[in-house]
Amino acid sequence: MGQLVRLKDVATIELGSRSYSSGAQLNGHDSAYLGIYPTPSANALRVADAVRAELERLSTRFPDDLTYEVKFDTTSFVAATIKEIGVSLALTMLAVVVVVSLFLQSWRATLIVALAIPVSLVGTFAVLYTLGYSANTLSLFAIILALTMVVDDAIVVVESVETLMAEGQSRTAATALALRQIAGPVIATTLRAAGGICAGGAAAGHRRRAVPSVRGHALYRCHALKPGGADVNARPCAPCCCVRARRIRPPFSAASTAGWTPRATLTPAW
Domain boundaries, the chain: 76-249
What single string gives the DSSP state of each residue in 229-254? HHHHHHHHHHHHHHHHHPPPPPPP-G
Say what the pTM is: 0.53
Query: What's the distance, Cα to Cα, between the start and end of the chain in Å?
Result: 127
CA distance 222 to 200: 13
Phi, psi of 186 (to 5 degrees): -65, -45
Residues 140/146, Cβ–Cβ less than 8 Å: no
- Please return the burial class of 40, using the count of CB atoms within 10 Å of its CB with bins 0-12, 13-18 and 19+: exposed
Determine the topology of domain 76-249 in CATH. Answer: Multidrug efflux transporter AcrB transmembrane fold (1.20.1640)
Reported as a single tens digit per residue, the pLDDT across 113-170 is 777 777 777 777 777 778 777 666 667 777 777 777 777 777 777 777 778 877 887 7
CA distance 190 to 183: 11
For residue 259, how many C-alpha atoms fall within 13 Å in the half-sphere facing its CB? 1
What digits encode the pLDDT tens for the residues 247-269? 545 544 444 444 444 444 444 45
Q: Are the C-beta atoms of residues 242 and 161 closer than 8 Å to each other? A: yes
Q: Is the pLDDT of residue 53 over 90?
A: yes
pLDDT grade for 51, boundaries at 50, 70 and 90: very high
Give yes or no for a contact between 242 and 158, defined as CB atoms under 8 angstroms apart: yes
